[in-house]
Structure formats: C-alpha cells, structure tokens
Amino acid sequence: MEIASNENMEVTVFMPVYNGSEYLKESISSVLSQTYSQFELLIINDASTDSSVQIIESFNDSRIKLLHNETNLGINKTRNRGLHETKTKFLAVLDCDDIADSRRLEYQVKFLKENLSYAACGSDANIINDKSEIIGAITHAKEHDEIAVNLLFANQFVHSSVMFDLEKVKTIGEYRTDILSEDYEFLFRISQQFKVANLPFKLVDYRNHSASVSKTKLEKMNYSENAILKDIYKPFELDSNLLEIPYSFFTYDISTIKKENISLFFESILTTNNKKHLFPEKIFNKIILNKWIEIVIKSKSKPVLNSLLQNQLFSYSVLNWRQLRRILKLKFKLIFS
C-alpha cells in the first residue's frame, strides 16, 4: 500500500498499531474524512498478531502508507521510527484507538503556518469509553508560558492531538526508549527550546479504557514519572526528597509526603526562578502559588497553611472565590480545633 511521493503533501498523520483491531477502522476512517486534503496516513504495524493488518489493507485508499516492524519493538521505538520515516513538513500523531475530528488537520496546519516560532500544537479532547460514548473532557493550558510552567507538574498535552513542525522537533532528538510517559518527557524538551500551544477546540476523542493497570506496569509508570521529574527539576537544584511534592500531583495522593517539605519545595523553586529566570516570573509565580494553595487545602495542616500565608508573594487578592472560601474555612477550622 505504498503511495507515490507528492511534493504538495504537507502533513503525515502517524498511527502506530499493535493489536489494535477493535477500534482501528474507526480511527483510520476519522483520518480519511479530514477537511484538509494534503496528507498521507503513515501506519506502522508493530508486529501485530490480530487482524489489524487485514483491517488496514481493507481500505483502498492511496493516502495510506503501511510499514511493518519485523519484530515487536514497543511504542517508544515505533514512535521514533515514525519520526524518521516522515518526510513532510508536519507530523500529526493519532493512536489507533482514538478518533480525530474532521477539522483537526485544517486547524492545526493553519495555526503552525501562521505562528512560525511554534514547534508543536495540541488541543482539548473529548474522553470516550469503549463504546465511543463521550464521558468527559480534557482541557489543558493554551498559551506557551502557561503550558511550560504547568509541565513541571503534569503533562499538558493529549498526545493524540499533537501536530509537530518536524524540522524543529528533529533538532530535539527522539522519544526516550527507557521510560513510559515518553510523550510527556518529549514535549517538555520541546517546550524548553520552542514555543508550544494547545488550540481551544476538542479536535480528538481520546479513548479511556476500563481495563485495570497491572502491578508491573504501575511500577514502570512510577519509575518513569520519577525519572522525568529528576530531569525536569535539575535546573532548580533541589534535594531529591523534595521531588515527592510534584510527584504527588501525578498520584493525587499527599498522604505519604512530609508536610515540612511542602513549603520548602515551593519556596525553593520560587527563589531559584527569581534568581535564574528559568520561566517568566509573573506567570510562574501565579501558577506556583495556585499549586501551593491546592496542596495546602489538601494537607489540612496548620504549619503548611501558615507558611503559605506568611510568604511575601502570597496575597488574598490572588485567590479566586472558591480558593478564598476554602482557605478561610481551613484557617478558622484550624484555629478552633
């Protein structure tokens, strides 16, 4: 199913496939139904053992280019092969169980052509279940500076919504192959060298599977997230014990962290950024204070609360109504407890 080279082709939609037969037809169809026409669909089959290849070959469409890994390489190495096989200016990612909105390529190509300093743009997303029913939504920060700071605490991209300017991205390197969450780490590196954005449209349906995560995969995820945090926070020169604070934003669990580390972490990164100017100070201080407030409310700790209230950057004026109500409620509760 090789297609002839076309000098007018601007976009490659890259879809890695490993035993994806259940949702593959729906995903491929969503790409072929795009309002934007100058694209090819590059599918790399990672040695599937189900009917994935037969489903792909059932599409009689010259825009599809199917390649095969001789052995199962895994998603990270397959993503890297996709980077190297792509010859067009832009590369759009779509996993084989997700669905692209028909306007996705049109909107993202327009954005990247009009904003030449940007290396990547993603979008908001619908969350769908195994029956392709919408059960929720994912929204992330939109502007570059806001994304860059929030990446210190969590991935800010739905990977299946991302389009890359390939010339810029190839200067960054490849996806790491020794970790999970490889897309998070890759996009963080990109954000440190180029501008990135999220478009304010739901341009992809992201499938949330009901299957439980195995203990082995959970351990690998924990290892990967800690490894990523160590790299991300290197410029801040933090004691490794303090990384339990940003890690708690991954796990949504602060029950095991040392309360005294909370204030120390936030004060340290605020001070370091003030000295090194790693991120624009105004947006950095705003987001970090919001994260600090969030964890103070969860901690229900009087020393942690007092440390926040006594910080020179803190002001009640930075709080929204919901935060103000919760902070005051916690303050009075701790006073009279």
* Contact (CB, 8 A) for 201 and 107: yes
pLDDT of 85 reads 98
* Contact (CB, 8 A) for 105 and 13: yes
pLDDT of 241 reads 92
pLDDT of 3 reads 41
pLDDT of 49 reads 97
* Contact (CB, 8 A) for 330 and 305: yes
Provide the strand spans (E) within the chain. Answer: 11-17, 39-45, 64-68, 90-93, 99-100, 118-128, 134-138, 163-165, 195-207
pLDDT of 255 reads 83
Residues of the chain with pLDDT under 50: 1-5
CA 142/CA 197 separation, integer angstroms: 5
Ramachandran region of residue 132, left (φ > 0), alpha (ψ -120 to 50) or beta? left
What is the DSSP code (8-state) at residue 74? -
Domain-wise residue ranges, the chain: 11-207, 233-335
Q: Domain 11-207 is of which CATH architecture?
A: Alpha-Beta Complex (3.90)
Q: Which amino acid is at 164?
A: F
pTM value is 0.91
pLDDT of 211 reads 59
CA 315/CA 278 separation, integer angstroms: 23
Q: How many CA atoms lie within 13 A of 30 on its CB side?
A: 27
